[in-house]
Structure 1
Amino acid sequence: MSDTKEDRPPGALLMGRPFGVPVYITPTWFLITGLITWLFGGQIDRVLPGLGAARYLVALFFALAFYGSVLIHELAHTVVALRYRLPVKRIQLQFFGGVSEIEKEAESAGREFWLAFSGPLLSLLLGAVFLGGMQLVESATVPGVLLTALMLSNVVVAAFNLLPGLPLDGGRMLRAVVWKATGSPMAGTVAAAWVGRLLALAVLVGMPTLAAYQAPGSGFSGLLVDAVLGAILAAIIWNGAAGSVRVARLRERLPQLSARGLARTAVTVVQDTPLAEALRRVEAEGARAVVIADGRGEPVALVREAAVRAVPEHRRPWTAVAAVARDLEPGLMIPADLVGEELLDTLRANPAAEYLVVERDGSPLGVLAAQDVELAFARAMAGQAPLPPVPTGTPA
């Protein structure tokens, strides 16, 4: 998987490629790591007052180890996704933990459940490992404090992610359960998204309320910090739930994107045919594209619409179609049966303006223009029906 500028999040640093998946830390990671170091350093001072300034080194070690645990949580999702042959674009460590960007949906409710549950499960197992380590050391020591903090943090991460609302892992597990019960992935998404919205409201109100109840003397500044953190976390959950519904609705509509349905009717000419004659045949036959064939009738090139437009009309009788064509490379021939995400993935892997659409026996069906796919995709995102085929016209 290539590390292109498009794949790298803005300002992020590449840390490695476990299992071939790039792992990035975003600029917000440094902010939260510094905040954890400062807050945890103050807590260590109450338990181990003799450490002095060294407590912040211990706190920094905890912050790094905590994010190491978060990375392991995300790697659990990644390993399961790869096991199910689902491509993982990248892992990001950021302000509120981490995220694994899995590019395709699981094929079944059962796989969706285990894909979601793998992260919290591994966090719970890490918590158990740190709990076992706590039995081997004194609690009022640096190792004891670190192991206790790591045990608690992993349990909290697991418990929080198991809350049954999108975009949390527990929400995806709820989605899988509803999907299994109803047979509809969309029904599962809607149910889990509404629970996610309720969780967002609970966090927005609950965090400052709980903080005020537990520490009534913390003052206005402490309450304000909790209220701001609660608002940020609530916004992330709310937007994630809404985004999950948008993505699910889009995936429902993606079957509208069909290579067969979007293919333009084409005329076939030989390479020395004048461009004006080729366009006359396009108009006469109600086609919208031109394919160049060799002496045996096999397609060898596609006339480029942009190149045709660049030729002045008075020059077209003297310009051969070969001058405005692109050789037909293997990546420019796509099966007519491609639909939805599979079609988009194929076009992304072989960027071009036009593609030859072929039947299973290799016979040409027509020409697929990238701009037609983009328009159909935009209409699908907007919830609009696909446009009917344009009956006649020329590629110019």
Structure 2
Amino acid sequence: MTDVPRPTRGLSLGRAFGGRIVVQPSTLVMLAILAFVFATNGGGALDRRSFTVGLVLAVLLFASVLVHEIAHAAAARAFKRQVHEVVLTLWGGHTTFDARGMTPTVSGVTALAGPLANVALAGIGALALASGALDFTFVEMLEGDLTAAGIVRYLVYVNLVLAAFNALPGIPMDGGRVLEAIVWGVTGDRYRGVRVAAWAGRVIAVGVVLVALALPLTQGRVPGLFDVMWAVLVFVILWPAASSALRAAQALGRRQGVFAGTVMVPAIAVRFDATVEDARTQAHQAGAQEVVVISADGAPAGHFPVTLTDAVPPEQRGAASLQSVTMPLPRGAAVPADLTGEGLQVALREWWGRTDVWTVAEAGRIVGVVRLEDVMKALQ
């Protein structure tokens, strides 16, 4: 991310590692839905007590998600990244931070921090239960027995599930970002990493549906409405997210292959006091299509295509000054030959409206000019 995102609307719960903790209104809707599901999970009647138990379990689930997201924020902060927000949403949460100059290590470690936090919580809970100090029965807790041991076992279970699900190696899960970082680090191509992780996310989305339908069969029963709904719900979350990441990676990957040096028009630098004939001769000898006019102080001051000199009568070219064919060029409108994709677009954006041509330099020597029209075609 290159800019601070617009603040998310919702209930603010304070700050964590410099970023706002925000609860979106849709989260409250999900809390109510989960409370109902937990309250009626055992087939019992829905009453005030069972709904209260269900609501407590739902809140503990989202608390675990919050710890997961705060771990992302902590990892980002450890890499000296500015944390913008930690947001709880209808389907979980997300953390935003300054992602400029991202590296495979920063991306992978930050993504991995979330599942590791859930594993740590589950481990702490398991140690507490193993100590023998707590007496628990998970089924009784769902029926209304809110024992301390029951709550701890529930937290262990929930955090293990959160860790396992988020560790799946496919976008949009954290494991997908880790896979992306590994491929990125090995190949040096970030967008190849995204493509691999996005395809893995698609495979996982299909796999979830197959597992949801096959699991009941292994138990000797036909998949019910709940099994199908659960599978479809997860699929419609995972598949679009993975597909969106894949499309973005394909587009951005193509852009990364666009260098200023590959879209430029070959050019030659000529002093301002040269004649049109001098410029034509030097350009033809160098195989250049453009001429960059250098001012007395050595800076590019203008340019013109060599073909423009065809309009000057041959008998006048030896005496005609370059002013007759030169178009002005703003001082500083230049890019290096090795500037690529997004960086090229950002550099040119600073000049949009003031010029549509930039000089291209390599090893301190002008080798071409970049035209806005050519860059936009290449980036599309």
TM-score class, shorter = 0.5 to 0.7
Please tell me the residue identity of whatever aligns with 1:61.
Answer: V
8 Å Cα contact 1:14/1:25 also seen in 2: yes
Q: Alignment partner of 1:98: what SS?
A: strand
Shift, 1:106, TM fit: 6.3
- Aligned-pair RMSD on alpha carbons? 5.3
Rate the CA distance shift 1:355–1:142 in 2: closer, same or farther, 3 A.
farther
Match of 1:119 among 114, 118, 126: 114
The percent identity for this pair of structures is 27
User: Is 1:377–2:372 an aligned residue pair?
Assistant: no
User: Is 1:199–2:207 an aligned residue pair?
Assistant: no
Match of 1:61 among 59, 62, 69: 59
Rate the CA distance shift 1:345–1:32 in 2: closer, same or farther, 3 A.
farther
Q: Could you tell me how far apart the structure 1 residues matched to 2:62 and 2:189 are? A: 41
Shift, 1:173, TM fit: 4.4
Please tell me the residue identity of whatever aligns with 1:352.
Answer: W
Q: Could you tell me how far apart the structure 1 residues matched to 2:22 and 2:3 are? A: 11
8 Å Cα contact 2:31/2:58 also seen in 1: yes
8 Å Cα contact 1:189/1:244 also seen in 2: yes
Shift, 1:290, TM fit: 8.4
1:153 maps to: 158
Q: Could you tell me how far apart the structure 2 residues matched to 1:198 and 1:75 are? A: 29
Q: Could you tell me how far apart the structure 2 residues matched to 1:190 and 1:64 are? A: 30
Q: Could you tell me how far apart the structure 2 residues matched to 1:186 and 1:327 are? A: 34
Shift, 1:138, TM fit: 5.7
Shift, 1:125, TM fit: 1.0
**Deviation string, structure 1 residues 5-57 (Cα, Å, up to 9, x no partner):** xx349x754857755667665564443333223333556997xx994664465
Q: Could you tell me how far apart the structure 2 residues matched to 1:128 and 1:364 are? A: 62
More divergent stretch after superposition (363-372 vs 180-189): 180-189
Please tell me the residue identity of whatever aligns with 2:68.
Answer: V
8 Å Cα contact 2:270/2:291 also seen in 1: no
8 Å Cα contact 1:76/1:122 also seen in 2: no
Q: Could you tell me how far apart the structure 1 residues matched to 2:95 and 2:157 are? A: 23
1:94 maps to: 89
Q: Could you tell me how far apart the structure 2 residues matched to 1:255 and 1:357 are? A: 20
Q: Could you tell me how far apart the structure 2 residues matched to 1:299 and 1:76 are? A: 48
8 Å Cα contact 1:77/1:100 also seen in 2: no
**Deviation string, structure 1 residues 80-103 (Cα, Å, up to 9, x no partner):** 7x46x8x98866543432345685
1:253 maps to: 254
Q: Could you tell me how far apart the structure 1 residues matched to 2:197 and 2:343 are? A: 26
Please tell me the residue identity of whatever aligns with 1:227.
Answer: V
Please tell me the residue identity of whatever aligns with 2:352.
Answer: A
Q: Alignment partner of 1:37: what SS?
A: helix
Q: TM-score, normalised by structure 2?
A: 0.61
8 Å Cα contact 1:69/1:154 also seen in 2: no
Match of 1:169 among 167, 174, 177: 174
Q: Could you tell me how far apart the structure 2 residues matched to 1:240 and 1:258 are? A: 29
Q: TM-score, normalised by structure 1?
A: 0.60
Please tell me the residue identity of whatever aligns with 2:379.
Answer: F
8 Å Cα contact 1:175/1:188 also seen in 2: yes
Shift, 1:339, TM fit: 1.5
Q: Alignment partner of 2:112: what SS?
A: helix
Q: Alignment partner of 1:359: what SS?
A: strand
Q: Could you tell me how far apart the structure 2 residues matched to 1:169 and 1:33 are? A: 23
Q: Alignment partner of 2:93: what SS?
A: strand
8 Å Cα contact 2:31/2:59 also seen in 1: no
Unaligned runs of 5+ in 2: 137-144, 272-279, 305-322
Structure having the larger proportion of residues in helix: 1
Shift, 1:367, TM fit: 5.1
The structure number with the bigger radius of gyration is 2
8 Å Cα contact 2:290/2:368 also seen in 1: no
Q: What number of residue pairs does the alignment pair up?
A: 335
Please tell me the residue identity of whatever aligns with 2:93.
Answer: G
Rate the CA distance shift 1:207–1:25 in 2: closer, same or farther, 3 A.
farther
1:236 maps to: 237
Q: Could you tell me how far apart the structure 2 residues matched to 1:176 and 1:373 are? A: 29
8 Å Cα contact 2:67/2:117 also seen in 1: no
Q: Could you tell me how far apart the structure 2 residues matched to 1:289 and 1:130 are? A: 73
2:320 maps to: none
Shift, 1:3, TM fit: 6.8
Match of 2:30 among 22, 29, 32: 32
Shift, 1:68, TM fit: 1.3
Q: Could you tell me how far apart the structure 2 residues matched to 1:57 and 1:22 are? A: 25
Please tell me the residue identity of whatever aligns with 2:32.
Answer: G
More divergent stretch after superposition (229-238 vs 111-120): 111-120
Q: Alignment partner of 2:168: what SS?
A: coil
Please tell me the residue identity of whatever aligns with 1:120.
Answer: P
**Deviation string, structure 1 residues 353-372 (Cα, Å, up to 9, x no partner):** 44744536666555545554
1:273 maps to: none
8 Å Cα contact 2:198/2:246 also seen in 1: yes
